Amino acid sequence: MPLVRRYRHLTRYREIANVLARHGFGFLFDQAGLRDLLQRKSMAEGVKRKGHLTAPERVFHALNELGPTFVKMGQILSTRPDIIPWPYLEQLEKLQDKVQPFSFAQVQEVFYQEQDKTLDDVFIKFEPEPIASASIAQVHRAFLKTGEAVVVKVQRPDVQRTIEIDLEILFDLARLLETKTVWGKHYGLVDIVEEFAQSLRAELDFTAEGRNGERFVNLFKNDPTVVIPRVYWEYSTRRVLVMEYIDGIKMSATDQLREAGYDLRLIGQNFVNAIIKQIYIFGFFHSDPHPGNLAVLPGERIVFMDFGQVGRIDEPTKEKAVNLVLAMVRYDIDAVMRGLLDIGVVQRKINWAHFRRDISRLQQKYYGLPFSEIAVGEALRELVDISFRYKIRIPPEFALAIKCLVTSEGVLQQLDPQISLLELAEPFARRIVRQRMAPTEIKRTLVRSALEFSEFARRLPRQVENILGLMEEGEFKIQLEHQNLQRFSLRLNMIANRITLSILIASLIVGSSLIVNRTQGTFLSNLPIAEVGYVFAAAMGFWLVVAIIRSGRF
């Protein structure tokens, strides 16, 4: 951020700095060279809180205090177990995106700016009191002129400007930390902020959420167990979204569901089937299926709502994920290791013995247990922890799918603690295995492998030719990085110095002896030349022996 812009947002910059300092994170601004923004009182308070709260708890309280942009940032980061450790994820999930609603007059103004129509032109009834209010928008219930009940999501006035100011500050801080600290460069803070900014800006465009919802409508159009609200595009824009209102019972309201005569296990089965379909079959899934986004209709039908955050997973990643899961089910340690390495990116040299030991411990923990007793969420968390420990960077889309499954298991536990995600998913898993072992699937795999090999064979001669051409022109370079080369060089210099010293000592002894023999009977015999040479040789020899003994290498 240029200095002019930094000073323009100085008040907000100082506010962010001191809130973080009060929660023990003032070192970020100190290391970024912005210590002048910090107050001593804030730093002292931060030291006190460090003694009473864990780091994840302090992150939670800091983001809550910083306001809507940072709460939304925490919620987005809570879906990223590939970059955020689980203790932090558990705290970030607790962040509540609830703020005071803005006025009905502002709702009318935003709607008119987007539609060039008044609310009365479109609706026969529009409830002034919102049914939900969040940092980016609030939701009202209304009725169209045609009589349909709808929900109208209206964006907060000036929210985009507020978010852009906070993003500018975050980018500035990330650039400074990446420039001035080793850890900032290692984690690529600017890229992380850029990814967060893209997600947040996408949520500001309600047409993207509408398209996501419409895609789910098409994907589940032949599934009688899933209901997706339709989008009314004629009334929807970037800042206003109008969707069908569905009056179901919240999935978390278990007492109400029981009173209404619903079968909780069937609800759980339909929910799990829908989630697995989204991830494995469609490759397009609701990334935050928490109870607030789920409802139940008669017939144990599941309603999915709020499509601002979705995940996508491609065919190669799905196949690798299935291989990994099957390896875990078979308790094949080597296959689990290969699967984890195949799906992720190794960022440093791995201690294979320790890696195998940790995978083996994870396998042994669940070995022989029936599916009903295996907590999928806990097992996946431990698998991600192992990836973190050995710096295996798993792809964001796979991490998001894991987070979706973990959240889904939490929903099932709220519905009925006796319901097991793995147990309900077992029939689906068996069907997947049968499909993969079917002759048509094996044939498809073989054909794909043959095509890949054919493409490799086609490109190989040209690549070899390019390498030979570079060698012919003298431009072929091989870059070698020898670890500990400096230590080896120092050791070599020390050896050379000792050899030189030994030769010098021997020369002094031989030279002194020759002087004794050749100068007898001359005036030089009265000078102590030989004695001086012997003394120097003895002193140097003594020093060399002491150095060798002290080094321990003799």
Listed range (177-186, 205-214, 410-419, 525-534) with the worst mean pLDDT: 525-534
Task: Specify the pLDDT at position 9.
Answer: 78
Mean pLDDT, rounded, for 306-328: 85
pTM: 0.73
Q: How confident is the model at residue 216 (pLDDT cuts 50, 70, 90)?
A: very high
The pair of three-digit structure tokens given for residue 101, joined into one six-digit string: 């609603």
Question: What integer is the mean pLDDT of 146-157?
Answer: 95
Write down the pLDDT at residue 6: 56
H or E, element range at 5:
helix 3-8
Q: Which helix (H) or strand (E) holds 66?
A: helix 55-66
What's the pLDDT at 227?
A: 96
Q: How confident is the model at residue 390 (pLDDT cuts 50, 70, 90)?
A: confident
Cα–Cα distance between 209 and 205 in angstroms, integer? 7
pLDDT tens figures, 124-134: 999 999 998 88
pLDDT in tens, 351-378: 888 888 998 888 888 777 776 677 777 7
Q: What is the pLDDT of residue 502?
A: 75
Closest CA to 294 of 440, 404, 191: 404
Which of the two residues, 344 and 299, has the higher pLDDT score? 299
210, 228 contact by CB (below 8 A): no
Closest listed residue to residue 208, CA positions, set 170, 252, 153: 153
Q: What would the pLDDT profile of 483-528 be if each residue is shown by its tens digit?
A: 555 666 666 767 777 677 777 777 767 776 766 665 555 555 555 6
Helix (H) or strand (E) holding 167: helix 159-180
| 381: Cα within 13 Å, side-chain hemisphere | 15
For residue 479, the model assigns a pLDDT of 63
Residue 460 structure tokens: 């190989």
- Residue 428: the pLDDT is 73
426-454 tens-digit pLDDT: 777 777 767 766 677 667 766 766 776 67
Q: Which residues pair with 123 in a beta bridge?
A: 144
Please tell me the distance from the alpha carbon of residue 372 to that of residue 126, in angstroms, as a whole number.
Answer: 47
Contact (CB, 8 A) for 294 and 250 = yes
Pairwise pLDDT comparison (548 vs 463), residue with the higher score: 463
The bridge status of strand 249-250 relative to strand 294-297 is: antiparallel
pLDDT: is 400 or 534 the higher one? 400
Instruction: Write down the mean pLDDT value for the chain.
Output: 83
Tell me what percent of the residues of the chain surpass a pLDDT of 90. 27
Task: Give the pLDDT mean for 282-295.
Answer: 90
Best CA proximity match to 386, nearest among 370, 365, 372 = 365
> In the prediction, which pLDDT does 138 show?
93
Residue 7's pLDDT is 58
CA quadruple 404, 407, 411, 412: dihedral positive or negative?
positive
> Higher model confidence: residue 514 or residue 468?
468
Q: With cut-offs at 50, 70 and 90, classify the pLDDT of residue 551.
A: low
Give the pLDDT of residue 134. 83
User: Is the pLDDT confidence value at 284 over 70?
Assistant: yes
- Looking at residue 282, what is its pLDDT? 93
- Measured distance between the N- and C-terminal CA atoms of the chain, rounded to whole angstroms: 60
Asked if residue 332 has pLDDT above 60, the reply is yes
Q: What pairing do the DSSP bridges indicate for beta strands 226-227 and 301-304?
A: parallel
pLDDT above 60 (res 410): yes
Q: What is the pLDDT of residue 489?
A: 65
The pLDDT value given to residue 238: 94
Q: What average pLDDT does range 295-303 have in this prediction?
A: 95
pLDDT in the model for residue 514: 66
Q: Contact 24/59 with Cβ under 8 angstroms? A: no
Q: Quick one: pLDDT band at residue 326, thresholds 50, 70, 90?
A: confident
Rg (CA), the chain: 34
What pLDDT, on a 0 to 100 scale, did the predictor assign at position 530? 65
pLDDT digits (tens, 9 = 90+) for 222-250: 999 999 999 999 999 999 999 999 999 99
Please state the rounded mean pLDDT for residues 287-291: 87
Q: Residue 24: which region, alpha, beta or left (left: phi > 0; alpha: psi -120 to 50)?
A: left
> What per-residue confidence (pLDDT) applies to 484?
57
